[in-house]
Amino acid sequence: MSDTFGELDHPPRLLMGPGPSNVHPRVLRAMSASVLGQFDPEFTAYMNQTMALYRRVFATANRWTFLIDGTSRAAIEAALVSVLAPGEGVVILNAGRFGLLLSEIAGRCEAELTLVEAPWGEVIAPEAVAAAVARAKPRLIACVHGDTSTTMAQPIEGLGAIARAHGALLYVDATATLGGMPIPTDAWGADIVTAGLQKCMGGPPGSAPITLSDRAAEHIAARRHVERGLAGAEAVGAGRRIASNYFDLAMLMDYWSDKRLNHHTEAASMLYAAREAARVVLEEGLEVRFARHALAGAAMTAGVEAMGLGVYGDPAHRMSNITGVIAPQGVDYDRVRTRMRTDFEIEIGAAFGPLAGKLWRIGAMGINARKHAVLTTLAALEAVLRGEGFGFTSGSGVDAAMAIYEQAAR
Ligand SMILES: Cc1ncc(COP(=O)(O)O)c(C=O)c1O
């Protein structure tokens, strides 16, 4: 008889990396509700409720606010492939791995790429974007809000006006910040914003909320080509057919509209998760939640600095929910992460590209943007670094973080 390996049996782990983060228990419970078909009236009501909830989470009045089935990158891909036809221009803000991901996906769409770049650890000035857009006259400006590879938050203010002044659309990847830092979609003038659940939203990976302005929806609808097996008297757009079937936002809008034109089988359990995650977020209140993430980030930063560790990147533009901790000389970078996990059941993140081996990325997101998670992580890091022979005053990290929480409570 072949081995069936046994049930999943790992210990609960505190996920303090750049995502995924621990899932809110209410979200886990919602995921165990029985699966319904996507045309069941109860289920279509859940779909409509999910759209309404995410309008509030994205701070938008956009009609087209729904979910892409897949991880965050599914929504990024859906946005780019549905907007960009081959040969169309896109200006991409690139100051990290996820800016590069945008250029990688836009390249596969055979778009004409113009990159506006800054060194990792910095952000891009709007003037540089305006100049590039004036030159390239692109269809789309694409950027990442919180780039987890560098822990920097790109200011988005002003980019919507630049896009409008040049007849372009503005796309923002808010995967790592939705539910943790303000994402004022309409106030930014952003035309498409996408995210995921697994970071500040307190859900699991596998569902990607998206919102589209009417301008973006009109542009995409002009590329609408309904699947042959479904097409009746459906209008076909004059624009070029979108190169992906699964990520065709024109067909997905039909699916999420009252037409309920069939597309994929909705990932019912993920929709339950997304719906419950949004309910948890909105019940807490967006402002309260942003403040909770900012406080956790401030406490984490104070803690690691008090231990004599450096914090990465331009302090004026750091994400509040992920701290880039510079690994000190003489300690074994990988062993520190391993011992955090094996001795303390805490996951912290490694880094990519030019920062590989130099930076640990410590997140405090969703339910983990809390005092106990921050203090436990700092206490464990202190113990592990002591074991590596790194010299600092024992308890200094935890004390500094506690002081931040005490100050905030006054
Ligand atoms: C800013 C950003 N964009 C996109 C992604 C890709 O998300 P996913 O792995 O959920 O597809 C990530 C993942 O870490 C991210 O941090």
The answer to whether 374 and 362 have CB atoms below 8 angstroms apart is: no
Per-residue pLDDT of 54-108, as tens digits, reads 999 999 999 999 999 999 999 999 999 999 999 999 999 999 999 999 999 999 9
Cis ω before 182 (30° cut-off from 0): no
pLDDT of 2 strictly over 90: no
Domain with 214, as residue range(s), is: 24-282
Residue 293 sits in the same domain as residue 243: no
Cis peptide before 20 (omega within 30 of 0): yes
Which of 282, 313, 337 lies at the terminal end of a domain, its last residue?
282
- Return d(Cα 187, Cα 185) in angstroms, integer: 6
Using a 6 Å cutoff on CB, does residue 173 contact ligand 1? Answer: yes
- Across the chain, mean pLDDT equals 96
Residues 247 and 303 placed together within one structural domain of the fold:
no
The answer to whether residue 19 sits within a structural domain is: no
Residue range 331-340: mean pLDDT, rounded: 98
What is the 176 CA–ligand 1 centroid distance (Å)?
A: 7
Q: Is residue 151 within 6 Å of ligand 1 at its C-beta?
A: no
Strand partners, 140: 90, 169
Residue owning the nearest CA to atom 1 of ligand 1: 147
Find the 241 Cα to ligand 1 centroid distance in Å.
27
pLDDT of res. 234: 65
Q: Which CATH number covers residue 399? A: 3.90.1150.10
In three-state secondary structure terms, 345 is coil
Residues 237 and 255 in one domain: yes
Residue 14, domain member (yes or no): no
The pLDDT score that the predictor gives to residue 229 is: 80
The minimum-distance atom of ligand 1 relative to the CA of 208 is: 10
φ/ψ of residue 171, rounded to 5: -110, 135
> How far does the centroid of ligand 1 lie from the alpha carbon of residue 153, in Å?
14
- How many independent structural domains does the chain possess? 2
Q: Is the CB of 171 under 6 A from ligand 1?
A: no
CB of 266 closer than 6 angstroms to any ligand 1 atom = no
Residues 220 and 369 in one domain: no
Q: Above 80 in pLDDT, residue 218?
A: yes
Distance (angstroms) between ligand 1 centre and the Cα of 396 equals 33
In this prediction the pTM is 0.97
Q: Is 177 in the pocket of ligand 1 (CB under 6 A)?
A: no
Question: Do 247 and 301 reside in the same domain of the chain?
Answer: no
In this structure, are 290 and 234 located in the same domain?
A: no
Domain limit, last residue, from 229, 256, 282: 282
Note whether 212 and 266 are same-domain residues.
Answer: yes
Q: Does residue 163 have a pLDDT over 90?
A: yes
Q: How far is residue 374's CA from residue 225's CA, in Å, rounded to a whole number? A: 50
Q: Tell me if 148 CB under 6 Å of ligand 1.
A: yes
Chain segment 97-136, per-residue pLDDT in tens = 999 999 999 999 999 999 999 999 999 999 999 999 999 9
Q: Who's near 182: CB < 8 A, 6+ residues apart?
A: 59, 286, 290
Q: Which atom of ligand 1 is nearest to the CA of 174?
A: 1
Does 220 fall in a domain? Answer: yes
Cβ of 176 below 6 Å from ligand 1: yes
- Phi, psi (deg, nearest 5) at residue 286: -60, -45
For a substitution probing ligand 1, which of 67, 73, 120 has the most ligand atoms within 8 Å of its CB? 73
Alpha carbon of 146 to ligand 1 centroid (Å): 10
Query: At residue 228, what are phi and psi to the nearest 5 degrees?
Result: -60, -35
Q: Are residues 233 and 106 in the same domain?
A: yes
Whether the CB-CB separation of 209 and 75 falls below 8 Å is answered with yes
pLDDT the model gives residue 254: 95
**Which CATH number is 98's domain given?**
3.40.640.10
Query: For residue 396, is pLDDT > 70?
Result: yes
